Amino acid sequence: MIQVQHLVKLFGNFRAVDDITFEVQKGEVLGFLGPNGAGKSTTMRMLTGFFPPSSGTAVINGYDILKDSLNARRQIGYLPENAPVYPDMTVEGYLKFIAEVRGFTGSELKKKFERAVEICSLEKVLPQTVDTLSKGYKQRVCFAQAILPDPPVLILDEPTDGLDPNQKFEVRRMISGMAENKCIILSTHILEEVDAVCTRAIIIANGKIVANGSPNELRKKSSLYEAVTLSLDNVGAEEAKSAFMSLANVANTEVLKEENGAIVIRVLPSGGNVIAPAVAEEIRRRNWRNTQFSVEEGRLDEVFRNVTRQ
């Protein structure tokens, strides 16, 4: 539903987005991750027609953003960064205005308006002007604006920014609930959000894609992936370390804690190999007393740091 082809955005000589290519299918929720200034919002602004690319293009549900910009934009609901909403309009006035701009009239307009209000729980603030809303409510009004036309594509720039934990949960639930029949791109700095809603994530750094995969695939790039953390209480740290180091596919060992004759040790595999069974067998063979044993599934925050700091 979205095909992005060699998108580039220059501001003067600065390449804010530097040759980005990817696709998103129907049913996917794609997370855009990356450090501040990586080019996430700039990419979204090009896809939504806020400004044109310096080169490259994208096709949204069959419409090219350069050759058929208006039709491309009709496919999209867009939540921009920092929820820009006219401050002097009431919430009701604003959402009805958006419905009109999106081409709805009469009973269809009323239906679309009521649906958006209900999904975003905005009933009690309808008569309030936007400038008197709290930050989280303003964000919700902007979210309501994005979903109001029920478009096939949603592009959401930090949709849970500024929301309280309950509302974060609600927005994630809404996004997951709508995902099946849509194609959704969202940016976020919250890595747990990637696990909660995204089927796939793209990590951007310095305007380039540095990782692209499902949350589990990305986690496998972590140096902790398949590492074993265990505690032993009848053996010294040095003896345990050298025993584990002699096993196949073990890259390193780290003693995390040493106290009253007990140790907590982490055994790290080389190249993401599975080492837990061999580690367990070694403990049994040496009659060591083992009180805790866990296998790491890898950490997104570590992968994020590794791929964005290079």
Ligand X SMILES: Nc1ncnc2c1ncn2[C@@H]1O[C@H](COP(=O)(O)OP(=O)(O)OP(=O)(O)O)[C@@H](O)[C@H]1O
Residues in contact with ligand X, shown as a per-residue x/- string from 76 to 95 under the rule CB under 6 A: -----x--------------
The count of residues interacting with Mg ion (CB under 5 A) is 3
Q: Indicate whether 36 belongs to the interface with ligand X (CB under 6 A).
A: yes
Interface residue with ligand X among 20, 30, 40, 223 (CB under 6 A) is 40
Residue 166 touches which member of Mg ion, ligand X, none, C-beta under 5-8 Å by kind? none
Interface residue with ligand X among 30, 41, 232, 240 (CB under 6 A) is 41
Cβ nearer to ligand X, comparing 161 with 296 = 161
Closest CA to 176 of 151, 157, 203, 195: 195
CA distance 288 to 245: 16
CA distance 201 to 69: 26
Q: Indicate whether 222 belongs to the interface with ligand X (CB under 6 A).
A: no
Cβ nearer to ligand X, comparing 209 with 268 = 209
Which range of residues in 39-47, 108-116, 257-265, 269-277 is near ligand X by CB under 6 A? 39-47
In 206-249, DSSP assigns E strands to 208-213, 228-232
Which range of residues in 38-46, 55-63, 68-76, 270-278 is near ligand X by CB under 6 A? 38-46
Residue 36 touches which member of ligand X, Mg ion, none, C-beta under 5-8 Å by kind? ligand X
Residues 6+ apart with CB under 8 A from 165: none
Q: Indicate whether 151 belongs to the interface with ligand X (CB under 6 A).
A: no
> What distance separates the 2 farthest-apart alpha carbons in the chain?
79
Q: Indicate whether 41 belongs to the interface with Mg ion (CB under 5 A).
A: yes
Residues 6+ apart with CB under 8 A from 9: 15, 16, 17, 39, 42, 43, 46, 51, 53, 54, 207
Closest CA to 98 of 139, 131, 130, 146: 146
Residue 1 Cβ, how far from ligand X at the closest point, in Å?
22
Residues 6+ apart with CB under 8 A from 196: 172, 176
The count of residues interacting with ligand X (CB under 6 A) is 11
Residues 6+ apart with CB under 8 A from 74: 63, 151
Which residues are at the interface with ligand X (CB under 6 A)?
A: 11, 16, 34, 36-42, 81
